[in-house]
Each structure stands twice: as C-alpha cells, then as structure tokens.
Amino acid sequence: MVRSAGEALVVSSGPGVMSRRHKEGTALLDTLATLVGCLASLNAGLPDGLRPDVMRLDLSSGRLFVGDAKHSESPSSIHTQGRILNYLRWFAAHLRCGRGEGVFAVCFSKISDTHLWVEALDMLAAEAGVPHAFVRHEQFPGGMTLVWFLSRCCVP
C-alpha cells in the first residue's frame, strides 16, 4: 500500500484498507520506536512523498526509527522491495549526514516468511548502502515477527 505524506488512510473495506493485523504490527513498531527513545513522530513522511508506517526520531541523539508493517505483502514482491528500498535510501541519507544511528524494522504475521524477510532486508540494505552487522529477527506474543537491524553513521 503506497501512501503519500498528505494522504489519509481510510479504514473501511476493499483495496488499501488497513487490516487488524496491520494495525497491530504498526502499533508494535510504534511502541518499539518509543522504547528506544524515538519520541518525535515524523508524520509528514519522506521527501519523495512515501510514508512508512512508523517513522520516529530522537531529537537529542538523532537516532531514527523507520518501521513498516507487512501483513498482506510478500518479501518477494518487486513492489514491496522497491518501496522498502526507497525507505532505505532515505534512511542511508540520514545516516550519511552524521545524525546518529538508526533502526530499520519490518513487522509481519506470517512466520514462514521470516527467512525471506531477513534475506530481503539484508539485500535491500546493502543495495541502499546502509552498513549493518546483520539482520535479526524476533517473535512476539500474538503471532507478530520483527525483522530489524541497527545501523550507525556511514560514509557517502
């Protein structure tokens, strides 16, 4: 689902609808962002108009948290990969500015996709030039899985 920064997400039925599982994933990501100190919500989205589900910043340290909930999208989808790659390019630009570190996370409910999400995120981060040690994953109660990595400042 692609949303521009000024576009509201309408919750109803049909295409473009945020499902209950997607809302749960977004809430988990938002909570995790807050727990790591990223309290400022960046609701305006990215300069290209795309907006991940969660984008928060720690104003004192410059730490950026970018998270996207994926309930119905596959890690193998070229459209999903393209969107995440764009998020990661902006994420890398933030790090190159020397603004601290960043956490990038994808949350989903289909546990059998864990390995595919790890591989996709690792490949896309490398393509975007985001240095990261390795992609980790964690399962949460309620059937949510988080795939994530931490990255520090990088050189252009």
Domain with 118 in it: 20-151
Q: Is residue 122 part of a domain?
A: yes
For residue 64, which of 85, 41, 47 has the smallest C-alpha distance?
A: 41
Q: Is residue 94 part of a domain?
A: yes
Q: Is residue 5 part of a domain?
A: no
Type and span of the H or E element at 150: strand 144-151
Q: Is residue 7 part of a domain?
A: no
Q: Is residue 146 part of a domain?
A: yes
For residue 155, which of 130, 135, 138, 136 has the smallest C-alpha distance?
A: 130
Number of residues that make up the chain: 156
Q: Is residue 87 part of a domain?
A: yes
pLDDT in tens, 98-154: 777 999 999 999 999 999 999 999 999 999 999 877 899 999 988 999 999 999 875
How many structural domains does the chain have?
1
Q: Which pTM was predicted?
A: 0.85
Enter the tokens of residue 106: 């994808």
